[in-house]
Structure 1
Amino acid sequence: MNRVRNFVSQRIASVPPSGIRRFFDIAATMEDVISLGIGEPDFTTPEPIVQAGIEALKRGETHYT
C-alpha cells in the first residue's frame, strides 16, 4: 500500500498548480476580499431565476459562454 501511495503522491506533486488555484491563494492574502468562487448559497434560488434557467435550457442554451 505504501508503494502505491508514494507513487501517486510523486506524480501529483509534479503537477503545477492551476491558474485559479494561484488566484485564490493571492486573494486569501488580501484584506476585504469576498470570495464568490466557491461555496453554496444558504437561500433558495428565487423563482424568476429558476424559470429563466428552465426557459434557457428549453432554448438549448446549454454551453459555457
Structure 2
Amino acid sequence: MEGVGGSLTVSGAWLIIGDVSDALNIGRVTNVVKTGTYYLYERTWGSQGYLTFAGLRSPLPRGTESVA
C-alpha cells in the first residue's frame, strides 16, 4: 500500500462498506489504477518531447540542446 493515501482510502472504504476485507481490496485496486494512470500519463508526456529521461522539461526542441 502507498502509505497515508492508501490508509485513508482503506479507512474510508471501511467506514462506508463496513467490511475490512472489501476495504483492503478497494485499496489494492485503487493503488493499481493510480499506478497505471501515472505510468500512462508519463509515457504520453514523454512521447510528446516534454520530458527527458531525467524527468526534467526541456524548453528547446529535441536535438537542439547544447552542453555548455
**TM (normalized to structure 1)?**
0.29
| Greater C-alpha Rg | 1
- Which has the bigger relative contact order, CA under 8 A and spacing at least 6? 2
